[in-house]
A and B are shown apart, each in its own frame.
Chain A
Amino acid sequence: AIQMTQSPSSLSASVGDRVTITCRASQGIRNELAWYQQKPGKAPKLLIYAASSLQGGVPSRFSGSGSGTDFTLTISSLQPEDFATYYCLQDYNYPRTFGQGTKLEIK
């Protein structure tokens, strides 16, 4: 199975900061990667698919990039509602695999 490694595992930031989360695949996955946001006690929410395509209704401060093995999720200006845990998910082959998550906390 493809291993997905996110960094950092946790991150403290302030409202208005620019934040970048990285996801690295153990082998090339083209651009077959999605990003999800999860808040405590809630189901995940789709942010980005195909590495850089923004899901409808998701604010434009979220963006994704990357191809091959290295990917990034960037939040250009953190808002209070963005403090959550973020997961990448590869859909290049089976089984699909998530990264371990990055918890974004308020500084």
Chain B
Amino acid sequence: EMQLVESGGGLVQPGGSLRLSCAASGFSLSSYWMTWVRQAPGKGLEWVANIKQDGSLEHYVDSVKGRFTISRDNAKNSLYLHMNALRAEDTAVYYCARDMTPYEGNIYYDAFDIWGQGTMVTVSS
């Protein structure tokens, strides 16, 4: 069975750091763009960051640029999100997702077909 399992969430003080992990099983992470999406309590979904198959390209939402770093270790079949200078507004469930990147009509699309169960990050003193 193909699945993603996140870990590393927890309670952290404002200004603190945390590293989230996302372990893949049943498929090779190295073949896919990977993405982090978060959801604050009672709120909608927010795209956070993504990373290319070989780790050579990353993108971030403006609110986390300079504070969060997405990375991957394809040998360990794992994705990471390094979060620094955490703020109360970073409090959310963080999901990792596989992008199957379908190619149609000369365009590569995003399509997040496998998601983890989510890990909760709470930033509070």
Contact A95 B107 (CB under 8 A): no
- A20 at interface (Cβ–Cβ under 8 A)? no
Nearest CB of chain B from residue A50's CB, rounded to whole Å:
5
Query: For the complex, would chain B's binding face be called helix, strand, loop or mixed by DSSP majority?
Result: strand
Contact of B44 among A34, A49, A100 (CB under 8 A): A100
CB–CB A44/B115 < 8 A: yes
Which of B46, B59, B95, B109 contacts A34 (CB under 8 A)?
Answer: B109
Residues of chain A with a CB closer than 8 A to B118's CB = 43
* Cβ–Cβ < 8 Å partners of A49 in chain B: 102, 109-111
A56 to B9, CA, bound (A): 31
Question: Is there a chain A Cβ closer than 8 Å to B1's Cβ?
Answer: no
Is B85 at the interface (CB under 8 A from chain A)?
no
Q: Are B45 and A95 in contact (CB under 8 A)?
A: no
Asked if B112 and A95 sit within 8 Å, CB to CB, the answer is: no
The answer, yes or no, to whether A62 is at the interface (CB within 8 Å) is no
Main secondary structure on A side of the interface with B: loop
- CB-CB under 8 A from B115, the residues of chain A are 43-45
Chain A residues touching B, range: 20 to 34
- Interface residue B14 (Cβ < 8 Å from any Cβ of A): no
In whole angstroms, what is the CA distance A101 to B42 when docked?
11
Q: Assuming A89-B110, A95-B62, A98-B46, is B104 touching A50 (CB within 8 A)?
A: yes
Q: Are the CB atoms of A38 and B45 closer together than 8 Å?
A: yes
Within 50-64 of B, Cβ neighbours of A (below 8 Å) are at 50, 59-62
Complex: A100 Cα to B43 Cα, angstroms:
8
Distance to closest chain B CB from A88 (angstroms): 10
Chain B residue with the shortest CB-CB distance to A90: B110
Are B109 and A101 in contact (CB-based, < 8 A)? no
A87 at the A/B interface (Cβ < 8 Å)? yes
Interface residue ranges, B against A (CB under 8 Å): 37, 44-47, 50, 59-62, 95, 97, 102, 104, 107, 109-113, 115-118
User: Given A91-B109, A95-B61, list of 13 further CB < 8 A pairs?
Assistant: A32-B109, A34-B111, A36-B45, A43-B118, A44-B37, A44-B112, A46-B111, A46-B113, A50-B111, A55-B111, A87-B44, A87-B45, A98-B44
